[in-house]
Amino acid sequence: MPAPAERMRMMRDRRRTGDLRELRLVLPDARSAAVRRRVAAEVHGLSHAAEDDALGWIEAVSEFDEPVDRNP
């Protein structure tokens, strides 16, 4: 069995042959208390009017046949 580094190289080669490209994402860790506080602060600062505006625009340009009632 090949070494781990060789197996990774072989896997990357197979992906490239299949027209695939590896993509790595680095995201904030939602388990971190500091990240959770930062997200909570950002959510608290959101404007309800701006959110309603954005939702209205999304509904206007969406493929729905009839408007969606957001206030059931």
In the chain, what are the domain boundaries?
4-61
The model's pTM is: 0.46
Answer yes or no: are the C-beta atoms of 13 and 19 closer than 8 Å.
Answer: no
Residue matched to tokens 């309800």: 48
**Could you read off the pLDDT of 11-26 as tens digits, one per residue?**
888 988 888 888 889 9
Read off the tokens for 22. Answer: 């590896």
pLDDT score of 63? 75
Q: How long is the chain?
A: 72
**CB neighbour list of residue 10: distance below 8 Å, 6 or more residues apart:** 2
Q: What is the pLDDT along the chain (72 residues), one digit of tens a residue?
A: 889 999 999 988 898 888 888 888 999 999 999 999 999 999 999 899 998 999 999 988 887 666 666 666
pLDDT score of 66? 64
- Cα angle 26-29-43, degrees, rounded to a multiple of 5: 105
Nearest to 40 by CA among 32, 69, 71, 52: 32
